[in-house]
Amino acid sequence: MKTKKRKQSIFIDILIWAFLVVAAVMILAPILFMFTASMMPAREILKMPYRWIPSGFEAENFWIPIKGLNNDFIFLRNILNSFIVSGAVALTTVLLSALTGYALAKFRFRGKNIVFFSIMATMMIPFEAIMVPLYLVITNFHLQNSYAGLILPFLVNAFGIFLMRQYLVPFPDEIIDAARIDGAGEFQIFRRIILPNSLPAVATLAILAFRTQWDNLLWPLLVVQSEEMKTIPLYITKFTGEMSSNEGAMMAVAVIASIPMLVLFFAMSRYFLSGAAVYSSRKG
């Protein structure tokens, strides 16, 4: 009987590993194709069967998007814009979500549950439903073609508050009470106790907020008209439309846009993965 159960367990493990391997290949294959194709001349990319190992490095593929379609190097300015917008949104999202999550998790006040469920209810509203009112607000305040217009609508989000609140609910109240007895103020407790003990959740939220804005196309498309204020997704859309016959350059601009996110993820992966594991265990 034990031998039969062991065989069943081994068979199930094999099926799980086979599924994971297939899923990993399906996810990584397009990424590998993007990186290898960015190094090839266009004529090599279209050859069948596809050569996964480039015969050489085609530096021109990367130089074309960097110098821009008009040789004005506007791509570098667009990268800077994306860094400023994504970094500002990630910073404010983490700080405001952590403060709100801390209050909802550890403070006692009348109507706390109503406030929490009201915030959660906003997650059910798609961005497209509030996009036009937001655009009218930005227009009335004359914030088009500005960093403020790109950043202000995304200073905080309901998911961030939910994540931080759920992470802090199990945090021991005794530690916070002891700090209060010692004379520490609430902001001092938040800065010295809550934030340092919330690094996995903070890192997870920072990566997600940064990535969301780094990939955001719809809102900048509405708010930004000048080339100097455009972000990377807008530049890529225009570049690929005008360079549709140069597959190598199109893959190269995608690689350049992907590198910052890959660096950020691997730099914070230790906190990100531990945060995901802790959140899953607490949810279960």
Class of the CATH-defined domain 64-283: mainly alpha
Indicate whether 184 pLDDT > 90: no
Q: One-letter amino acid identity for 274?
A: S
Q: pLDDT digits over 108-144, tens only?
A: 888 888 999 998 898 888 888 889 999 999 999 999 9
Indicate whether 87 pLDDT > 70: yes
Indicate whether 71 pLDDT > 90: no
For the chain, what's the residue count?
Answer: 284
Is residue 223 within 8 A of residue 150, CB to CB? The reply is yes
Better pLDDT: 233 or 244: 233
Is residue 135 within 8 A of residue 194, CB to CB? The reply is no
Give the number of other CB atoms < 10 A from CB of residue 163: 22
Average pLDDT over residues 210-215: 92
- What was the pLDDT predicted at 4? 64
Average pLDDT over residues 24-45: 85
The Cα-based distances of 223 to 10, 14, 83, 211 in angstroms read 56, 51, 17, 19
- Residue 268 confidence class, pLDDT cut points 50, 70, 90: confident
Least confident of 19-23, 199-203, 263-267: 263-267
Instruction: Count Cα neighbours of 120 within 13 Å in the Cβ-side half-sphere.
Output: 13
Q: pLDDT digits over 145-183, tens only?
A: 999 999 999 998 899 999 999 888 888 889 888 988 888
To which H or E segment does residue 169 belong? Answer: none
Average pLDDT over residues 220-226: 91
Least confident of 111-115, 160-164, 241-245, 258-262: 241-245
- What was the pLDDT predicted at 279? 46
Indicate whether 281 pLDDT > 70: no
CA distance linking residue 236 with residue 241, whole number of Å: 8
- What was the pLDDT predicted at 126? 87
Give the start-to-end residue ranges of the domains of the chain: 64-283
Residue listed under structure tokens 């995608």: 254
